[in-house]
Amino acid sequence: MKKISFKILLPKAIRENKLIKGKKNLLIPVGIIIGVIIILSILESSFGLLSTTFMGQETIKEYTKEILGIQKQIQIEQGAYRDILDREAQFISQKNEYWITQRDGDMNQSFQQKISSAASKASVDLSTAGSVQVSKISDDLSIGEVEISCSGSMEEITKFIYALTYSTPKMYWERFSLRPDNYNSKGTIYMTCDAKFLIISNKDIITLFGIGEKND
């Protein structure tokens, strides 16, 4: 800020020293000078304060702009985080669709029991339920496959398929074949298929499902 010259603001009489006539008159101009100096100091402080205030407003605008940018970024990240939580919740809700040894036990033994139980409830004649064949997809996920052959009425086979499809784990069918018995029993249907299911072995995923080690 440009300095204000005290000399310019002094009365002409004081500048020319016309009022100073001896020691008696010396107190008058000195008092005036001191008063003017005080006023000018106050004005200078006021102008400085105003200048600081205006600079502060510009700074506040910059800070406000920066804060709004940060707030927008936080909202974007919160939305992404909510999306992750939704996906996680959906994945957890599907945990019964996978075979998990810690929950479901020995694969071959438990699966044979599962197939036999479904066949018995549906009243189908179970001919074949082979051993589980495992094909590894990744370190965390595998596919189990079992060959199944059975016979019964269409209604009985439908019940059998339905029971296995919506069991734990969920079944996916491949090489599904139906043929009627045209020689021995009218109305009997022979079914041959491969039943497949997904196997999860990743410990972190199993923990996410809330499943601990199976107690023997």
Mean pLDDT (whole number) for 178-196 = 85
**What percentage of the chain carries pLDDT values higher than 70?**
70
Residue 123 has pLDDT above 60, yes or no: yes
Decide if pLDDT at 124 tops 90: yes
The answer, yes or no, to whether residue 77 has pLDDT greater than 50, is yes
The number of C-alpha atoms within 13 Å of 17 and in the hemisphere containing its C-beta is: 3
Residue 190 has pLDDT above 70, yes or no: yes
**CA atoms of 55 and 78, how far apart (whole Å):** 35
pLDDT of 170 above 90:
no
109-to-106, 114, 130, 181 alpha-carbon distances in Å: 6, 9, 11, 31
Model pLDDT, residue 22: 45
For residue 38, what pLDDT band results from cuts at 50, 70 and 90?
low
Most trustworthy range by pLDDT among 40-54, 64-78, 119-133: 119-133
User: Could you tell me if 94 and 200 are in contact, meaning their C-beta atoms sit under 8 angstroms apart?
Assistant: no
pLDDT digits (tens, 9 = 90+) for 1-22: 444 444 444 444 444 444 444 4
Taking the C-alpha atoms of residue 32 and residue 16, their distance in angstroms, rounded to an integer, is 14
* Whether the predicted model's global pTM rises above the 0.85 cut: no
User: Can you tell me the mean pLDDT for 13-42?
Assistant: 50
d(CA 135, CA 206): 19
Q: What is the mean pLDDT of the chain?
A: 75
Report the chain's C-alpha Rg in angstroms: 46
